[in-house]
Amino acid sequence: MNSLISKTDKRVKTGVHFMLGNYAVVEGAIAAGCDYFAGYPITPANEISELMSKRLPEVGGVFVQGEDELFSIYSVVSASLAGAKAMTATASAGFNYMQEGIGYACAVEAPCVIVDVQRCRGENFATQADVMQMRWGASGDYEMICLAPSSAQELFDYIILGFNLAEKYRNPVIIMSETTIALMRERVQIPKKEDIKIINRKYTNLSPKDYLPFRAQKNSAPEMAPLGKGYHTLYTLNYHNEDGTIDWDARGYDRLYKRITGKIKENRKDICKTETFYLDDADQVIITYGSEVRPAMDAVQMARNDGIKIGLLKLITIWPVAEEIIKEVAKNVHKVYVAEMNIGKYSKEIERLCIPYCSIETITKNQGIIHTKDEIYNVIKEGNKCQ
């Protein structure tokens, strides 16, 4: 951290911009207080690194291009534990390598943000194929927070939300970006600095003598201690007890991971964010996320013009699953459609929640190309013909 330069006014570029999705990620992160970025070149995430290398030094932050993705994720985690608001960005193939470090971040409860600009076919083709890897990629027990923006504006908004959730729950947060929105230029409105809500991690008030690094209230994150101030915290992947030292107590292990997963799982109400459209009188609904929201919304409007009473549930938080909200929607309709750009993965999550209440049909497309509104509309129309 270059403390000589503190140009905080340079952090928030208030105004209306015509901005690349990947650039919106950078501006959102810097507005959120990001001051450490490590990355490794990979298309289609390169514009994030490129703009970070210019912007971060301007605001007193540190940019580093490492030797591989493992470097990126581990240096992000250690910088975070050293006090940084740290992030990295990659694309699907690079995201694979990061799983190891994400597992470590969960175990030592290091807040950090990872952007995965999903791609497929070994090129920059559009996809949502990593949706399960976001949640289940690393070994061990953990819960993940994952947000799925659907536009350049939402990339800006949700990376700020991502940093806030990471800091609040001391957990990695993954921003599920996609080629579709990352490489698109759109209108992005950056609010005034005072209108951006920022949450920072809690540091302990206790003295090193009284401080236990992993003692926390039920289902919540422990308070952190600054590095290099005599707190002597051990951040180990091994099972550690409340004082941070390696332990062999089987029940203690169980307790630790109940808390680490519980702090996310039991706070779903606070974490999960969704939006609904035309749901008031709907007897059927499309549930979707990410850039698939865009053609799905058009298809819903087309169906509404035909008099079909269909609504839309947009999942902004895809992990943890917004179980209560999805169930509530399913109770009031006779059919749920799930639109996604892969072989049909997240639809299994929706299915387990909807099955007692209504029927479910998945609308998938796995060609590296986003759905057209007609493709989704045709499935809805076909479904309504059969009745």
Partner 1 sequence: MSIKINPLRKYIRNGNLPHFFCPGCGCGQILNYFLNAVDDMKLNLDEIITIGGVGCTARIPVYLSTDSFHGVHGRTLAWATGIKIYRPDLKVVIFAGDGDLASIGGNHFIHAARRNLDVTVFMVNNFNFAMTGGQVAPTTLIDSITMTTPYGSKENPFNICNLAKCAGATYVSRWSTTKPLQTIKAMKKALEHKGFSLVEILSQCPTNFGRYALKTGDPEKVLNWIEDNSLLMSKTEGKSEEELKNKYILGEYVNIQKPVFEGTTVFKEESN
Which positions touch partner 1 (CB under 8 A)? 1-2, 5, 35-36, 38, 53-54, 57-58, 60, 62-68, 70-71, 73-84, 86, 100-101, 104, 107, 227-238, 243, 245-246
Shortest distance (Å) from residue 46 CB to partner 1: 14
Angstrom distance (rounded) from CA 258 to CA 172: 17
Contact 129, 120 (CB under 8 A): yes
The verdict on whether omega for the bond into residue 356 sits within 30 degrees of 0, i.e. cis, is no
Q: How far is the CB of 194 from partner 1 (least distance, A)?
A: 26
Give the pairing of strands 86-91 and 145-147: unpaired
Residue 316 DSSP one-character state: S
Q: How far is the CB of 225 from partner 1 (least distance, A)?
A: 8
- How near is the Cβ of 201 to partner 1 at its closest, in Å? 15
Nearer to partner 1, 88 or 288 (CB): 88
- In the complex, least distance from residue 59 CB atom to partner 1, rounded to whole angstroms: 9
Spell 137-166 as b/e; 16+ CB within 10 A means b.
bbeeebbbbbbbbbbbbbbbbbbbbbbbbb
Contacts 24+ apart (CB under 8 A), 224-231: 224/81, 224/170, 226/83, 227/81, 227/82, 227/83, 228/82, 231/204
Residue closer to partner 1, measured from CB, 74 or 95: 74
CB of 1 to partner 1, least distance (A): 5
Identify whether the C-beta of residue 89 lies closer than 8 Å to the C-beta of residue 83: no
CB of 63 to partner 1, least distance (A): 6
**What single string gives the DSSP state of each residue in 93-124?**
HHHHHHHHHHHHHHHHT--EEEEEEE-BTTTT
Of 100 and 361, which has the nearer Cβ to partner 1?
100
Q: Smallest distance, Å, CB 37 to partner 1?
A: 10
And the tokens for 266?
A: 């039991």
- Cβ proximity to partner 1: between 77 and 376 the closer is 77
Nearest CB to partner 1, comparing residues 49 and 177: 49
Cα 172–141–66 angle (5° rounding)?
A: 40
Dihedral-angle region of residue 290 (phi above 0 means left; psi in -120 to 50 means alpha; beta otherwise): left
In the complex with partner 1, which residue's Cβ is closer, 29 or 318? 29
CA-closest candidate to residue 93, choices 67, 129, 64, 58: 129
Our CB check for partner 1 shows the closer of 30 and 296 to be 30
Q: Which is nearer to partner 1, 1 or 358 (CB)?
A: 1
